[in-house]
């Protein structure tokens, strides 16, 4: 079971105790907070929870390239809609529609969508071309 994450206040109190015991000046809470914010989330999760616990934080490719331009990197998902599409004439099920949702990774994040039944390639192309029109 992973150790629970300490609060910034608890970390600051511990640092203040150690500094006072060694006769050193203690850093401010803001300085501690900035230092924690600069920490690598993958490294800290791996240290706290191990390699298996850090897997959800880790990029699938291992290294995420920096995003510098608009639409240089996007994240696309295809969630299934909780509806069953049926044939008009015979009322037989055709399938469940997907909604293609995309977000660019450069702030400000601009979401865009497309919808389809069946394979995802056409919807991705339609969603991306729609995003380029934004």
Q: What is the pLDDT of residues 57-89, one digit of tens each?
A: 666 666 667 777 777 777 777 788 888 888 889
Taking 70 as the threshold, does the pLDDT of residue 26 lie above it?
Answer: yes
Q: What is the pTM of this model?
A: 0.42
Query: CA 50, CA 44: separation in Å to the nearest integer?
Result: 9
Residue with the larger pLDDT of the pair 106 and 48: 48
| CA neighbor of 125 nearest in space, from 102, 108, 106 | 102
Beta bridge mates, 101: 77, 113
pLDDT bracket for residue 132 (50, 70, 90): low
Query: CA 94, CA 84: separation in Å to the nearest integer?
Result: 7
| CA neighbor of 14 nearest in space, from 40, 36, 42 | 36
Query: CA 106, CA 124: separation in Å to the nearest integer?
Result: 19
Element at 47 (helix H, strand E): helix 41-54
What pLDDT score was predicted for residue 34? 93
The CB-side HSE value for 106 (13 A sphere, CA atoms) comes to 9
């Amino acid at each position: 079971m992973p150790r629970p994450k300490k609060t910034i206040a608890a970390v600051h109190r511990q640092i203040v105790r150690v500094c006072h015991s060694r006769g050193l000046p203690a850093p401010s809470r803001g300085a501690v907070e900035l230092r924690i914010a600069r920490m690598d989330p993958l490294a800290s999760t791996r240290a706290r929870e191990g390699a298996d616990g850090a897997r959800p934080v880790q990029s699938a490719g291992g290294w995420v390239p920096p995003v510098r331009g608009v639409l240089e990197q996007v994240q696309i998902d295809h969630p299934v809609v909780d509806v069953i599409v049926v044939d008009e004439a015979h009322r037989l099920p055709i399938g469940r529609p997907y909604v293609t949702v995309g977000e660019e990774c450069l702030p400000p994040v601009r979401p865009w969508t497309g919808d389809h039944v069946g394979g995802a390639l056409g919807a991705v192309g339609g969603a991306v071309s729609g995003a380029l029109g934004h």
